[in-house]
Structure 1
Amino acid sequence: MAVAIVTDSTASLDPVDAARERIEVVPLQVIIGAEVHTEGVDVTADMIAEALAAYVPVSTSRPTPDDFLTVYERLASEGATEIVSVHLSAKMSGTLDSAELAAKQASVPVTCVDTRHVGIATGFAAGRAAQVRDAGGDALAVADAARKAGESSTTLLYVDTLEYLKRGGRVGAAAALIGSALAVKPLLGFKDGSVVPLERVRTASKALARLEAIALEACRACDDGFDIGVQHLANPTTADAVAGRLAAELGRDSVPVDEVGAAIGAHVGPGMVAVVVTPA
């Protein structure tokens, strides 16, 4: 059986990496003002940061079921006999719902996986799925690998303000922090697929120090190794500093740093720094 793997553009996969690992990426739409853009095609995170700073309305739109079905059918025509579709948390987007609707119409079996995370945590899950596929695993094993990667991941976010998450309705349980958003620097995480507050921290430096400390705890709890990555939106200097300190503590030459995609950037706002740890 030939198993194909699909994910969405919020997984933050580099196109070269996605092509090498044979992972198909379905893009989300990003709306800036009245203009509709396609993530990974004609919109960048820098454009999002500039629009948000200028108070231009920014929103996102999930791929349609037809978008997914078109990809599924093309993969089937190319020889895929089963498909595993790996996506961001269903509590954060309707993307998984679109994938599941398309799966019901596909000509080959499609298993949809909710990673319960966003960003590179979803990308790591898709990568684990590819590893199992390439090792000869069937669709059940491939989907299980992606699901377990998501379940075991730690995603930590520092944001300058909760305002952007609040606007998009993605703030979840972190709403408890909104009343004092100007007095604290929110340190957030993911639980059961939703954004949750971790700690109330008074300064940016203390919030970043706690983010690093929690990330290191997660790394050191991984007995068989781990993947780690840092993401940011319009905050490369801070992200590079965080990655450098993590690498030094972990005895690594470096920790990868990437800017988030436009769709995630639209909801977290400029200044965000995130760390993801996924056990091997």
Structure 2
Amino acid sequence: MAVVVVTDSSARLPAAETHRWDIRVAPLHVLVDGHDLCDGVDDVPADLYTRGHVTTAGATPAELSALYRQAVLDSGGDGVVAVHISGALSSTLGAAEHAAAEFAGLVRVVDSKSAAMGTGFVALAAARAAAGGADLNDVAVRAQAATAEVRAFIVVHRLDNLRRSGRIGTAASWLGTALALKPLLRIDEQGQLVLAQRVRTTSKATAAMIEQVLDVVGERRAALAVQHVDNPGGAAEVAATLESALPACGPAVVTDLGPVLGVHLGPGAVGVVVALAP
């Protein structure tokens, strides 16, 4: 048997990757008009991002405990490494740590200190180590190391939703809104979403994001993901630009950010995640 890797639906891993590496995915929750919808399981309304009273919730300890229990059984006792969305952005990490306490060290929880494919790339690094025969400790160590290899940037049209949900500071939100500036955000080393740069237009913010990605990658090899909220055209343009500028990195993974993240980021958002080669 082998160590099993678990992540959550905020990672937005393509189904082909979860199947290839046997990564288990815990659904997070979208709360719409009193209905609790499981991300990636239940259908969400097409007009989700224009509704005024939509919230999200992390996976519960009970949900994670059930998923971990099955994963431990499937590992044949080799154990589980659970890679989740940043603890600074979601309650899921705390729930994961609570659930893991039931398993006497057989479940190791890793804070990805990121979100979306930032979490996904860390989970993939862990899964590759597990597939290569690494034991529980070594898979957890590889996952922890991968968190330092990931950088994430995103351009959003407004900061109101992030301010209301507490994902970004009130002062940063006010500056972006009051001055009609388009914010470029990044996830910092503590896994917090912070303001990286303010520019006058969305096109300039996107150009600034691409420049930051080019600076981060430099001459190194890296995996790239371009993700969006209801903006496939914008994501495709960014992906094409990066693939042209960074041919050694290969094609970028292009996916939507899904409802759990999209509710907070708002429609039109486009982001880039970089996973530097170790």
TM bracket, shorter-chain basis: over 0.9
Match of 1:68 among 64, 68, 73: 64
- Stretch moving more, 145-154 or 237-246: 145-154
- 1:236 Cα offset (Å): 1.1
Partner in structure 2 of residue 111 of structure 1:
108
RMSD across aligned positions (CA)? 1.7
Count of aligned positions = 273
Partner in structure 2 of residue 279 of structure 1:
276
Match of 2:242 among 242, 246, 261: 246
Partner in structure 2 of residue 32 of structure 1:
32
Where structure 1 has 5 or more consecutive residues not aligned to the other structure, the ranges are: none
Is the contact made by 1:51 and 1:57 (CA closer than 8 Å) also made in structure 2?
no
Which runs of structure 2 are paired with 1:53-92 in the superposition (5 Å)? Answer: 53=50, 55-78=51-74, 79-92=76-89
Match of 2:131 among 130, 134, 147: 134
- Shift in CA distance, 62/177, structure 1 to aligned 2, threshold 3 Å: closer
Residue 99 of structure 1 aligns to which amino acid in structure 2? A
Is the contact made by 2:2 and 2:133 (CA closer than 8 Å) also made in structure 1?
no
Partner in structure 2 of residue 186 of structure 1:
183
- Normalised TM-score (structure 1): 0.92
- Normalised TM-score (structure 2): 0.93
Match of 2:210 among 207, 212, 230: 212
Matched, 1:232 2:228: yes
Is the contact made by 2:78 and 2:136 (CA closer than 8 Å) also made in structure 1?
no
Residue 104 of structure 1 aligns to which amino acid in structure 2? A
Match of 1:151 among 148, 152, 165: 148
- 1:221 Cα offset (Å): 5.2
Residue 268 of structure 2 aligns to which amino acid in structure 1? G
Structure 1 runs of 4+ with >3 Å offset: none
Is the contact made by 1:32 and 1:56 (CA closer than 8 Å) also made in structure 2?
no
SS at structure 2 position matched to 1:7: strand
Which runs of structure 2 are paired with 1:13-32 in the superposition (5 Å)? Answer: 13-32=13-32
> C-alpha separation between the residues in 2 aligned to 1:68 and 1:180?
37
Which runs of structure 2 are paired with 1:88-103 in the superposition (5 Å)? Answer: 88-103=85-100
> C-alpha separation between the residues in 2 aligned to 1:71 and 1:199?
39
Partner in structure 2 of residue 175 of structure 1:
171
Task: Report percent identity of matched pairs.
Answer: 36
Is the contact made by 2:7 and 2:26 (CA closer than 8 Å) also made in structure 1?
yes
SS at structure 1 position matched to 2:251: coil
Is the contact made by 1:5 and 1:23 (CA closer than 8 Å) also made in structure 2?
yes
Is the contact made by 2:222 and 2:276 (CA closer than 8 Å) also made in structure 1?
yes
Matched, 1:43 2:40: no
